[in-house]
Structure 1
Amino acid sequence: MAEFIALIPAAGSGSRIGEDMPKQYCLLAGKPMIYHALNTLYRVDRITTICVVLAPEDIWWTRYDWGEFADKIQVINCGGVTRAESVTNGLKTLRAAKHIQDQDWVLVHDAARPGLSIALVERLLDQLVADEVGGLLAVPLADTLKRANDMDRVECTEPREQLWQAQTPQMFRTKLLLEALEKAPENITDDASAIEALGYSPKLVMGDTNNFKVTYPQDLKLAELILQERY
Structure 2
Amino acid sequence: MPDQPRPPRTAAVIPAAGRGVRLGPGTPKALRTLNGTPILVHAVRAMAASRSVSLVVVVAPPEGAPEVKRLLDAHTLPERTEYLVVPGGETRQESVRLGLDALPEGVDIVLVHDAARPLVPVETVDAVIEAVREGAPAVVPALPLADTVKEVGPAEDGGPEPVVATPVRSRLRAVQTPQGFDHATLARAHRTVTGEVTDDASMVEQLGPGVVVVPGHEEAFKVTRPLDLVLAEAVLARRRANDGF
Q: Same fold (TM over 0.5)?
A: yes
Once the two structures are superposed, residues 148-183 of structure 1 have per-residue CA deviations (whole angstroms, 9 ceiling, x without a partner) of 341343414332121111110111122110111222
Does residue 131 (structure 1) correspond to residue 121 (structure 2)? The answer is: no
Matching residue within 116, 122, 134 for 1:118: 122
Give SS of 2:99's match: helix
Give the corresponding residue for 1:228: 237
**Cα gap change, 1:93/1:126 in structure 2, threshold over 3 Å: closer, same or farther?**
closer
Q: Residues 154-193 of structure 1: matches in 2 within 5 Å?
A: 154-156=162-164, 157-193=166-202
1:146–1:154 contact (8 Å) kept in structure 2: no
Residue 243 of structure 2 aligns with which residue?
none
Kept in 1: contact 2:136–2:212 (CA 8 A) = no
CA distance, structure 2, for counterparts of residue 106 and residue 23 of structure 1? 23
Unaligned runs of 5+ in 2: 1-5, 241-245
The code of the aligned residue for 2:34 comes to L
Out of 47, 72, 83, which is 1:41 matched to? Answer: 47
Q: What's the counterpart of residue 52 of structure 1?
A: 58
The CA distance in 2 between the partners of 1:116 and 1:225, in whole Å, is 14
1:23 is aligned to 29
Match of 2:75 in 1: 66
SS for the counterpart of 2:129 is: helix
1:153 corresponding residue in structure 2: 161
| Residue 105 (1) aligns with residue 100 (2) | no
> What's the % identity of the aligned pairs?
35
> RMSD of aligned C-alpha atoms?
1.8
TM-score normalised by length of structure 1: 0.90
Letter in 2 for 1:46: S
Indicate which of 27, 38, 42 corresponds to 1:32.
38
User: How far apart are residue 69 of structure 1 and its match?
Assistant: 4.4
Q: 1:63 to 1:51 in 2, by over 3 A?
A: closer
Q: How far off is 1:40 after superposition?
A: 1.9
Rg larger in structure: 2
**Matched residue of 1:121: which SS?**
helix
In the alignment of these two chains, the number of paired residues is 226
